[in-house]
Amino acid sequence: MEKIHSKKWKISSVEHHFPPELLAEFGLTPLMGKLLAKRKITTREEVRLFFQGGRADLPSPFLLPGMEEAVELLFSALERQERILIYGDYDVDGITAVALLLRTLRPFNTGNILYYLPKRLEEGYGLHQQVLAKAVKYGCRLVITADCGITAITEATYLQEKGVRLILTDHHEPGPQLPPAAALLNPKVSSVYPYPQLAGVGVVFKLLQGLAAKRPELENVLWENIDLVALGTIADVVPLLGENRILVKEGLRQMNNTANTGLKALLAQTGLAGKQLAASHVGYILGPRVNAVGRLGDPTVALRLFLEEDPARARKLATLLETMNQKRQRVEEKVQQEAEALIAQSPAVDKALVLAGAWHPGVIGIVANRLADKYYRPTVLLSLEGERARGSGRSIPGFHLFKALEECADCLIKYGGHECAAGLELEKNRLAEFKAAFIAVADARLSPELLTPALEVEEDIPVEALTKDLLADLARLTPFGEGNPEPVLVCRDVNLLACYGVGKDAKHLKLKVGKDGASWEAIGFNFGAPTEELEGAKRVDLAFNLELNDWNNQLQLVLKDLKLAEVS
């Protein structure tokens, strides 16, 4: 281990106390009541929705402004068998959103629904007028965007001038001016919709849900494809609460018995076939493979996988995704090494990191995320090519990245995103100017406390409370994700019975801890071999997730951090 103590443990407190009758009604322990309150789930209806919410609890799609117009436009286009272009994004959210539209609508408009996904490396994010011009020439009378378009003023105006109607569906932050779309669906544009944190595929789901009110035969087809909604929602790291929680729960249930030939092949390829799927499987195994083809090449490969009906072709596409993902891992490792070398050359680390190099633009977002975690700084990585620099940024809690870029807008050609992640493009000769402006925003916004790595801890409990009953209680909180993290618990002053490194080059740390004759195993992935300080310790404080070890069916503490216990 490089360090015994690297983070500040922030144990959140809540004022709310659940009445005993509410705990009894839902079979909750006081600890579970605290965990719910920390997620701002405090009323009986909120608790019911969290544990028992299902399809019937989804809000009406017509609460989303623009839905009436969007449904009427799409209904009419299908009735008239008009040629339609669906224009998506190249990430998992965009790919699944386009797949959902195609799988749901194509049976009702055979041969007249086209799609387009821009290539990240050649075209970049968003609508491109030359593509729209081809669609107009080809006779498309309706364009539907999926997970993009909220800042595409010029492109929307072009379609308007050509007499082509535009249904714009997106979930990214709107700018000061909205595009002139015939119908615009974005829960962040209005405060009316009860769940503004939908992913792009979630907004598309609401559109199709609205359409099903006029075309009831769509209903079953839509719900057969709810696994795509879960895949895109989890991968886009939106809060898994409220409506998103219901969509993901329903989607994971469907994914376990998916009717999607391509998704079935991907599950087999990744060794997940037959397993009870969790959000973590999607976020860490499926999502990166779907993203890989868009990062390094053509995202339509992943889209074709989700549209494929032939098992043999689906297996070939799933294998290709695996190959591309392995290549992506090698490329990003090289970029990270070079970026860290630049950081090492700097005399001091600023409150934000802005780094540029001749790097593969498809992986800089992943590397920016890793560096933001490692150095605990808002991080922007820029890929230099010709006279332009295209970048990707990731942030830390307390620093709104999109708003920071707004303050640097004079330096940028374009930018977009949200609080935690964003994309941007600028002229290469303005790089120094942008770096100075961005760091100035960070200097003004980030206090020393915000720059101190913190581990959010849910509860401090005695080690003897670590039982399979507790694990079963915690499992009721699944699916875990943004807004509903897997609880990090703390046990203090635990006897350290053994510690040693495991895995290749002792990459992981294994502990055996105990108290009053009982013992538990703990594993710290990528913690490294124990230090002399730890080997000589008698007692430790542990921060961890509680899990079940698949190999021996015993409880296991998956370490997030540890400290030497204070000597009393």
| pLDDT-wise least confident of 144-148, 188-192, 510-514, 526-530 | 526-530
Please, are residues 135 and 145 in contact by the beta-carbon 8 Å criterion?
Answer: no
Number of H-type helices and E-type strands within the chain:
21, 18
Question: So where are the chain's domains?
Answer: 8-24+458-564, 65-321, 346-445
- pLDDT, mean of residues 533-562: 91
Please, are residues 232 and 96 in contact by the beta-carbon 8 Å criterion?
Answer: yes
Q: Give the number of C-alpha atoms closer than 13 A to the C-alpha of residue 399, restricted to the C-beta side.
A: 32
**Closest by Cα among 508, 509, 517, 523 to 555:** 523
Fold of 8-24+458-564: OB fold (Dihydrolipoamide Acetyltransferase, E2P) (2.40.50)
pLDDT at 183 over 90: yes
How far apart CA 56 and CA 156 sit, in angstroms, is 35
How far apart CA 443 and CA 303 sit, in angstroms, is 42
Q: Reduce the DSSP state of residue 386 to 3 states and report it.
A: coil
Amino acid occupying residue 345: Q
- Helix 287-296 / helix 261-269 crossing angle, nearest 10 deg: 100
pLDDT at 322 over 80: yes
Secondary structure of 264-290 in HEC code, one letter for each residue:
HHHHHHCCCCCCCCCHHHHHHHHHHHH
Tens of pLDDT along 335-361?
999 999 999 998 878 999 999 999 998
Which pLDDT belongs to residue 503? 87
Strands 414-417 and 388-394, by their bridges, are unpaired
Which pLDDT belongs to residue 430? 96
More confident residue, 109 or 251: 251
What residues have CB less than 8 Å from 365, skipping those under 6 apart?
Answer: 381, 392, 394, 421, 423
More confident residue, 211 or 121: 211
Instruction: Give the right CATH number for 65-321 from 3.40.50.10900, 1.10.10.1590, 2.40.30.10, 3.90.1640.30.
Output: 3.90.1640.30
Which phi and psi (to 5°) does residue 464 adopt? Answer: -70, -10
Q: Reduce the DSSP state of residue 61 to 3 states and report it.
A: helix
Share of the chain above pLDDT 90, in %: 83
Tens of pLDDT along 461-487?
999 999 999 999 999 999 999 999 999
What stretches of 91-169 adopt beta strand conformation (E)?
113-116, 142-146, 165-169
Tens of pLDDT along 4-52?
446 889 887 777 788 899 999 999 999 999 999 999 999 999 999 999 9
Which pLDDT belongs to residue 516? 85
Partner residues linked to 513 by β-bridges: 496, 520
Please tell me the pTM assigned to this model.
Answer: 0.91
- pLDDT, mean of residues 505-518: 90
Tens of pLDDT along 266-304?
999 999 999 999 999 999 999 999 999 999 989 999 999
What residues have CB less than 8 Å from 89, skipping those under 6 apart?
Answer: 95, 97, 117, 118, 125, 146, 147, 148, 200
- pLDDT, mean of residues 69-75: 98
Please, are residues 541 and 494 in contact by the beta-carbon 8 Å criterion?
Answer: yes
pLDDT at 567 over 70: no
pLDDT at 2 over 50: no
Please, are residues 99 and 117 in contact by the beta-carbon 8 Å criterion?
Answer: no
**Closest by Cα among 14, 8, 32, 12 to 22:** 32
Q: Reduce the DSSP state of residue 563 to 3 states and report it.
A: strand
Asked if the 346-445 domain carries CATH number 3.40.710.10, the reply is: no
